[in-house]
A and B are shown apart, each in its own frame.
Chain A
Amino acid sequence: GDSVTQMEGPVTLSEEAFLTINCTYTATGYPSLFWYVQYPGEGLQLLLKATKADDKGSNKGFEATYRKETTSFHLEKGSVQVSDSAVYFCALSAGGRRALTFGSGTRLQVQP
């Protein structure tokens, strides 16, 4: 079945540091890939997505590129801020299903 694997957290960085959160997947066919973010006390929010190979999703300084050859969708940001502290979930939808398959989430803590 479909699955998503994320690096375990927490990831602790200083402000303005470079961020990478790794995400790899297994899926039948050609999935769409997503990054969701959950801020404390709030629901999951879509951060970015990519629907086909080599697409790059970007939003709020975050980027992720759909790499079919490595089945990866790593999240990156060049300079993190304290306000980026949250839990980040990698997810996919495949086979025409709108429901999502999620990774376990990675907690990011950014210190001033």
Chain B
Amino acid sequence: GAVVSQHPSRVICKSGTSVKIECRSLDFQATTMFWYRQFPKQSLMLMATSNEGSKATYEQGVEKDKFLINHASLTLSTLTVTSAHPEDSSFYICSAGVSGETQYFGPGTRLLVL
């Protein structure tokens, strides 16, 4: 099946710094990728839809200036958490689809902001 990778798998940073997370589709092209956030023992919550060559679409309540998304190619989307704070600590997961409804998920990135 299709493979989606994320990098890094785990990152620890100081409060006030920015962190970039990459999501790559390894063996297929994805015009649309999705970014989710998961708090401990809670659901995955959709943050935004990343569209290749255009602006991302953010869910209600997600700050677009805080969570910058760039989908510069058909195989790469990046999520940058700007001026990170401890409350941004979470598990970030991306997904991409080839067609239809089936989504392929990356392994996730655990962010810890000190």
Contact = CB atoms under 8 A, between A and B. Distances in A.
Interface stretch (B14-22, B63-71, B73-81, B104-112): B104-112
Given A36-B105, A99-B34, A89 B97 contact: no
Contacts of A104: 41-43
Given A102-B44, A104-B42, A105-B43, A44 B105 contact: yes
Contacts, number: 52
Interface residues of B, number: 24
A74 B62 CA distance: 31
Given A41-B107, A98-B97, A99-B34, A46 B46 contact: no
B5 to A, nearest CB: 9
B105 A43 contact: yes
Given A43-B4, A43-B108, A98 B103 contact: yes
B42 to A, nearest CB: 6
Given A89-B44, A105-B43, A100 B103 contact: yes
B101 interface: yes
B49 interface: yes
Nearest to B48: A99
B102 interface: yes
A44 B103 CA distance: 9
5 nearest A-B residue pairs (beta carbon): A44-B105, A43-B105, A43-B107, A102-B44, A102-B43
